[in-house]
């Protein structure tokens, strides 16, 4: 079998892989770049099911990768969107305390904003309602983050794809990687064998499987969560995004609002355990072996309430029905009486979450591991879409120069 030689091979054609290819071709125009993707497009999974929010970076401890590359990536992503005349709503975000505990977290969140270089302002309830009449500041206080914006994630991804191809990069769809030789740089697909000077594993939901194919020692296991949004079936409109000040002990941001370019308002997500990495609805996307493995893993962790997973699971179960979503969202927004909710199937996503089996906790930061010729991007959880430009800069600077 013939072998195709490339300077850089990227496994995974979602937003992270595409931005890496784009940045590589800009920095090293003469280098050959190949992106390999098992789907027939770049938006089947996390990238296309993303909320489209460009996050500011206010939530994350300053020393984390999420803080560093969310902030730098967000600025670049916004500049890219504007430079290509893509749709963007620079609406800003309102963060509201919904309990005494979250109220106590407000100063810490403002401290993180300052340390991360994020513009944020503490405002009164009246000031917030003047910005967003449908917000519900029950503690008469909240945080305004002007930078936060919303884009169309599919439009962004397809624009970057076009740029990669125009710059001479190659994107190969409908090809699943079946072997990875980290020492010699070989990648096998059903149709071809490739050799790369450097291989980057940016496979998102399948990053752990690619890491397994390469034989890298790991203390991590895959533990996915499904996020479902509900859609308001009316002309209910919002000018700002409204989020709760999150419980900083949990890995999720809590139920919040988001809207799209058509002005449709969504509320969610629920974040429930899921037993297949493509199990978006019903029994679809389930594989028996993986189903059994994830079922056992979740059951064991919830039985012993590892990392508070049992408490989280019971809380999230209440958000699977409209009544639970109404109750949760009522502490954030108002004027929803009589407004019908329906499941937004287009916004069902699965979080590519990993679990540290040695330390017994859900990993709350990006994880990047080097193995000979392969760079593995593990745990590309939110805000990976926002951070993709910043992450690409760091990986090219630290692992390819």
Choice between 243 and 282, residue whose per-residue pLDDT is larger: 243
**Is residue 59's pLDDT more than 90?**
yes
**Each residue's pLDDT tens digit, 85-100:** 999 999 999 999 999 9
Mean per-residue pLDDT over the chain, rounded: 93
How remote is the C-alpha of 317 from its chain's centroid?
21
Q: What is the pLDDT of residue 61?
A: 95
**Is residue 48's pLDDT more than 90?**
yes
C-beta of residue 59 within 8 angstroms of C-beta of residue 115:
no
Number of H helices, E strands in the chain: 11, 23
Choice between 311 and 3, residue whose per-residue pLDDT is larger: 3
**Cβ atoms < 10 Å from Cβ of 347:** 20
Q: What is the pLDDT of residue 251?
A: 67
- Burial state string for 97-127 with b = 16 or more CB within 10 A and e = fewer than 16: bbeeebeebbeebbebbeebebebeebebee
Joined tokens for residue 213: 């194919």
Closest CA to 163 of 70, 26, 329: 26
**Is residue 377's pLDDT more than 80?**
yes
**Percent of the chain, pLDDT > 70?**
99
358-361-363-369 Cα dihedral, nearest 10 degrees: 0
**Is residue 313's pLDDT more than 80?**
no
Burial of 219 (0-12, 13-18, 19+ CB in 10 A): exposed
| Residue reference for tokens 């190969």 | 172
- Burial state string for 202-214 with b = 16 or more CB within 10 A and e = fewer than 16: bbbbbbbbbbebb
pLDDT band at 1 (very low <50, low <70, confident <90, very high): low
C-beta of residue 297 within 8 angstroms of C-beta of residue 223:
yes
pLDDT band at 401 (very low <50, low <70, confident <90, very high): low
Domains, the chain, ordered by start? 1-88+148-220+359-401 (3.50.50.60), 93-146+225-351 (3.30.9.10)
- Burial state string for 11-39 with b = 16 or more CB within 10 A and e = fewer than 16: bbbbbbbbbbbbbbbeeeeebbbbbbbbb
Strand partners, 94: 144, 242
Average pLDDT over residues 348-363: 91
**Is residue 124's pLDDT more than 70?**
yes
List Cβ neighbours of 382 (8 Å cut-off, separation of 6 or more): 55, 253, 351
């Amino acid at each position: 079998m013939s072998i195709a030689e490339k300077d850089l091979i990227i496994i995974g054609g979602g937003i992270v892989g595409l931005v890496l290819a784009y940045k590589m071709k800009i920095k090293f125009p003469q280098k050959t770049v190949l992106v390999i993707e098992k789907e027939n497009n770049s938006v089947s999974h996390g990238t296309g099911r993303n909320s489209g929010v460009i996050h500011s970076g206010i939530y994350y401890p300053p020393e984390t990768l999420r803080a560093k590359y969310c902030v730098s990536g967000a600025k670049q992503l916004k500049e890219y969107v504007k430079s290509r005349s893509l749709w963007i709503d620079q609406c800003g975000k309102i963060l509201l305390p919904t309990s005494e505990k979250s109220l106590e977290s407000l100063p810490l969140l403002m401290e993180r904003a300052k340390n991360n270089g994020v513009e944020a302002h503490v405002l009164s309830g009246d000031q917030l309602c003047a910005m967003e009449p449908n917000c519900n500041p029950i503690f008469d206080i909240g945080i305004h983050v002007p930078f936060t914006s919303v884009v169309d994630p599919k439009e962004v991804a397809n624009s970057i794809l076009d740029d990669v191809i125009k710059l001479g990069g190659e994107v190969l769809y409908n090809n699943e990687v079946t072997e990875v030789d980290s020492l010699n740089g070989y990648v096998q697909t059903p149709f071809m064998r490739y050799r790369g000077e450097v291989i980057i594993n940016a496979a998102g939901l399948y990053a752990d499987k690619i890491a397994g194919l390469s034989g890298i020692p790991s203390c991590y296991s895959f533990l996915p969560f499904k996020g479902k949004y509900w859609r308001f079936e009316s002309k209910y409109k919002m000018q700002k995004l409204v989020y709760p000040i999150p419980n900083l002990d949990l890995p999720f941001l809590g139920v919040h609002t988001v809207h799209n370019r058509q002005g449709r308002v969504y509320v969610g997500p629920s974040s429930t355990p899921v037993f297949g990495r493509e199990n978006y609805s019903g029994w679809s996307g389930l594989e028996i072996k993986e189903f059994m493995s994830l079922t056992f893993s979740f059951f064991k962790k919830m039985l012993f309430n590892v990392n508070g997973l049992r408490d989280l699971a019971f809380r999230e179960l209440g958000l699977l029905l409209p009544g639970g979503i109404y109750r949760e969202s009522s502490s954030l927004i108002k004027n929803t009486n009589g407004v019908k909710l329906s499941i937004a199937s287009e916004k069902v996503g699965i979080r590519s979450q990993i679990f540290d089996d040695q330390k017994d906790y859900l990993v709350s930061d990006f994880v990047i591991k080097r193995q000979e010729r392969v760079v593995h991007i593990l745990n590309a959880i939110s805000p990976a879409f926002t951070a993709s430009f910043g992450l690409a800069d760091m990986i090219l600077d630290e692992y390819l120069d």
